[in-house]
Amino acid sequence: MEFKSHSTPLDRKKRPSLRVVERVAEAEAVGPVELRPPLHDIVDSGALDHLFESARDRTLPGVATFRYRGYEVTVHADGRVALE
């Protein structure tokens, strides 16, 4: 599968796990509920959200990277979600 890296626009109000699901669904042109397996079967969604919870109101460095549905997903503390 050929896919160019792309980051979603910043939206710090949304949980990181939700941004990941929306970004992957957008890349695959499907609805978020159509993604199988669901994200929470691959990564602890609550832990991912909690990891960046303190970064919402200030700028802290940090990223989390994992594989999901053939993509390398990178979630940045500033709210960006990148797929490669």
Place of tokens 């969604």: 45
Nearest to 51 by CA among 37, 72, 65: 65
Give pLDDT tens digits for 32-67: 999 999 999 999 999 999 988 765 555 667 899 999
Total-model pTM: 0.82
Half-sphere exposure of 1 (CA within 13 A, CB side): 11
β partners of residue 81: 75
Handedness of CA 40, 41, 47, 53 (dihedral sign): negative
